[in-house]
């Protein structure tokens, strides 16, 4: 008898958890999937509060300094494989296109590397509250790498007359959102609430790839076409400065910022 009621209780528990899962899924707009494995339905959702993870305090910066430098290749680096364009030829083109995973310039300069101070807890205010656009044009994302102040809205836009399926992953594996955009001119907005790297891919066109780098503080920059970057209004002090590049990986160094001066940090990256 006791055994039977335990069994009943177990069945009831499983059913209610399954039901809970189904409700959660149905509530989500735009075909989003919160990929909680069925075996762990009680697991807390992954939307960790950004504030707890990133104790950053905005304050007036007077007598700050700046940091500038360059990102270059350390010698010869094997290039990423070209993109194989295999469908929707009228819109996407056909054949092989150069990969955007490594964009370089004369002298081996590296574009689209993200440079950041990693251990700053107080400084100028984050430029949040903007809406940033990620466009899909001719089956490529524009821009390829974008810095996003935490809690900003990103608007994903389909400029193509073909279906794109925007699939954003936090840390490469965790689905943040997953939206089908079948129509030209369609836009979808999402708030990015957790600092870190978000990889955006298209489930319809496997060569499409872009990154949001969600930032908890404003001391970030992306290297430009000449491989240069500059970060300004930094409170004087010693910091760690890190470069991240999707193809070349990361590197870190120490830097000392003095008021009214421009400190230098040059990086040379290779394929690990
Ligand atoms: Cu697509």
Let me know if residue 41 belongs to a domain: no
Weakly modelled stretches of the chain, pLDDT under 70: 1-54
Statement to judge: residues 10 and 74 lie in one domain = no
Let me know if residue 227 belongs to a domain: yes
Statement to judge: residues 218 and 159 lie in one domain = yes
Statement to judge: residues 73 and 179 lie in one domain = yes
Statement to judge: residues 15 and 85 lie in one domain = no
Q: Give tens-digit pLDDT for 69-102.
A: 999 999 999 999 999 999 999 999 999 999 999 9
Contact predicate 241/44, CB 8 Å: no
Who's near 256: CB < 8 A, 6+ residues apart?
237, 238, 239, 263
* Model pLDDT, residue 20: 37
Contact predicate 157/187, CB 8 Å: yes
| Distance of CA 202 from the midpoint of ligand 1 (Å) | 5
Give φ, ψ of 215 to 5 degrees.
Answer: -115, 140
Let me know if residue 111 belongs to a domain: yes
Residues 218, 157, 172, 210: is their CA dihedral positive or negative?
negative
| Distance of CA 166 from the midpoint of ligand 1 (Å) | 7
Domain hosting residue 214, numbered range: 50-269
| Distance of CA 247 from the midpoint of ligand 1 (Å) | 21
Statement to judge: residues 13 and 114 lie in one domain = no
| Distance of CA 22 from the midpoint of ligand 1 (Å) | 28
| Distance of CA 75 from the midpoint of ligand 1 (Å) | 34
Let me know if residue 114 belongs to a domain: yes
| Distance of CA 127 from the midpoint of ligand 1 (Å) | 30
Let me know if residue 186 belongs to a domain: yes
| Distance of CA 87 from the midpoint of ligand 1 (Å) | 10
* Model pLDDT, residue 171: 86
| Distance of CA 66 from the midpoint of ligand 1 (Å) | 39
| Distance of CA 170 from the midpoint of ligand 1 (Å) | 19
| Distance of CA 106 from the midpoint of ligand 1 (Å) | 31
Statement to judge: residues 141 and 20 lie in one domain = no
How many distinct structural domains can be found in the chain?
2
What are the angstrom distances between the C-alpha of 196 and each of 144, 177, 188, 224? 16, 15, 21, 21
* Model pLDDT, residue 258: 98
| Distance of CA 165 from the midpoint of ligand 1 (Å) | 6
* Model pLDDT, residue 82: 96
Statement to judge: residues 27 and 150 lie in one domain = no
* Model pLDDT, residue 272: 72
CA distance 149 to 160: 27
Confidence (pTM): 0.79
Statement to judge: residues 259 and 127 lie in one domain = yes
* Model pLDDT, residue 195: 94
């Amino acid at each position: 008898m006791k055994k039977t009621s335990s069994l009943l209780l177990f069945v009831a528990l499983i059913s209610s958890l399954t039901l809970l899962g189904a409700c959660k899924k149905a509530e989500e707009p735009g075909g989003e999937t919160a990929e909680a494995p069925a075996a762990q339905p009680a697991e807390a959702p992954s939307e960790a509060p950004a504030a707890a993870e990133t104790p950053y305090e905005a304050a007036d910066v007077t007598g700050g300094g700046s940091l500038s430098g360059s990102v270059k290749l350390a010698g010869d680096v094997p290039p990423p494989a070209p993109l194989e364009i295999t469908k929707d030829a009228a819109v996407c083109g056909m054949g092989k296109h150069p990969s955007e995973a490594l964009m370089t310039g004369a002298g081996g300069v590296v574009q689209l590397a993200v440079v950041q101070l990693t251990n700053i807890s107080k400084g100028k205010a984050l430029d949040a509250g903007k809406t940033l656009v990620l466009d899909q044009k001719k089956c490529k994302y524009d821009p390829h790498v974008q810095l996003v102040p935490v809690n900003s809205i990103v608007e994903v836009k389909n400029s193509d007359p073909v279906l794109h399926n925007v699939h954003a992953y936090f840390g490469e594996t965790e689905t943040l959102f997953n939206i089908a955009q079948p129509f030209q001119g369609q836009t979808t907005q999402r708030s990015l609430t957790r600092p870190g790297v978000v990889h955006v891919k298209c489930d319809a066109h496997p060569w499409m790839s872009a990154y949001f780098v969600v930032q908890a503080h404003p001391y970030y920059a992306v290297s430009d076409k000449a491989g240069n970057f500059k970060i300004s209004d930094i409170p004087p002090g010693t910091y760690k400065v890190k470069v991240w590049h999707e193809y070349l990986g990361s590197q870190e160094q120490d830097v000392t910022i003095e008021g009214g001066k421009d400190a230098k940090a040059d990086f040379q990256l290779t394929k690990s």
